[in-house]
Chain A
Amino acid sequence: MSMMEYLAYAAFGLYLFLIVAGGLAAVLSKNLIRSLVGLIMTLFGVAGMYFLMSAPFIALMQILIYVGAVSVLIFFAIMLTRAPGGESGIEGSTPKALKRGLLALATALMPAVILGAIIIRKTPETLPLKPETALTVLGEFLTGPFALSFELISVVLFVAMAGAVLLGFERRKSE
Chain B
Amino acid sequence: MMSQLLSYLSLPLVHLILSLVVILAFLGVNGIVLIYVERKVAGFIQRRPGPYEVGPWGLLQPLADALKLLSKQLVTPMGADKILFWAAPILSFAPVVICFMPMPVSPMFTGMEMNLGLILILAFTSLNVLALCLAGWSSNNKYSLLGAARAVSQSVAYEIPLLITVLAIAFQTGSLNLSEIVASQTKGIWSWNIFVQPIAFIIYIIAVTAETNRAPFDLPEAESELTAGFHTEYAGMHFGLFFLAEYSYMIVVCAVATVLFLGGWHGPFLSGPFWFILKTYALILVLMWFRWTFPRVRFDQLLNICWKWLIPLSLINLVLTALLVKIVR
Interface residues, chain A, with chain B CB atoms under 8 Å away: 3-4, 7, 31, 33-34, 37, 40, 56-57, 60-61, 63-64, 67-69, 71-73, 75-76, 79-80, 84-85, 132, 134-135
Contacts and interface: CB of A to CB of B under 8 A. Distances in A.
12 contacts: A4-B12, A31-B81, A37-B84, A37-B134, A57-B119, A63-B127, A64-B119, A69-B156, A72-B129, A72-B130, A75-B133, A84-B137
Given A37-B134, A64-B126, 17 more contacts: A33-B134, A34-B81, A57-B116, A57-B119, A60-B120, A63-B123, A64-B119, A69-B126, A71-B130, A72-B129, A72-B156, A76-B153, A76-B156, A84-B140, A85-B137, A85-B140, A132-B115
A40 B138 CA distance: 16
B159 interface: yes
Q: Which of B13, B84, B116 has the most CB of A within 10 A?
A: B116
Q: Which of B79, B119, B122, B148 has the most CB of A within 10 A?
A: B119
Tell me whether chain A's interface is mostly helix, strand or loop, or mixed: helix
B81 A68 contact: no
B152 A56 contact: no
B41 interface: no
B145 to A, nearest CB: 5
A132 B12 CA distance: 17
Contacts of A33: 81, 84, 134, 137-138
Nearest to B133: A75
Interface residues of B, number: 32
Interface of B: 12-13, 79, 81, 84, 114-116, 119-120, 122-124, 126-127, 129-130, 133-134, 137-138, 140, 142, 145, 148-149, 152-153, 155-156, 159, 176
B96 to A, nearest CB: 14
Contacts, number: 83
Q: Which of A40, A68, A85 has the most CB of B within 10 A?
A: A68
Given A60-B120, A61-B119, A64-B126, A79 B81 contact: no
Contacts of B79: 85
A134 B258 CA distance: 26
A119 B218 CA distance: 53
Given A60-B120, A64-B123, A79 B149 contact: yes
B123 A68 contact: yes
Contacts of B176: 135
Contact of A60 (B123, B133, B145, B152): B123
Contacts of B148: 79
A40 B134 CA distance: 12
Contact of B84 (A4, A34, A61): A34
A129 B226 CA distance: 54
A73 B81 CA distance: 20
Contacts of A135: 115-116, 176
B58 to A, nearest CB: 39
A71 B91 CA distance: 15
A84 B140 CA distance: 7
A132 B115 CA distance: 10
Contact of B119 (A7, A60, A72): A60
A10 B142 CA distance: 42
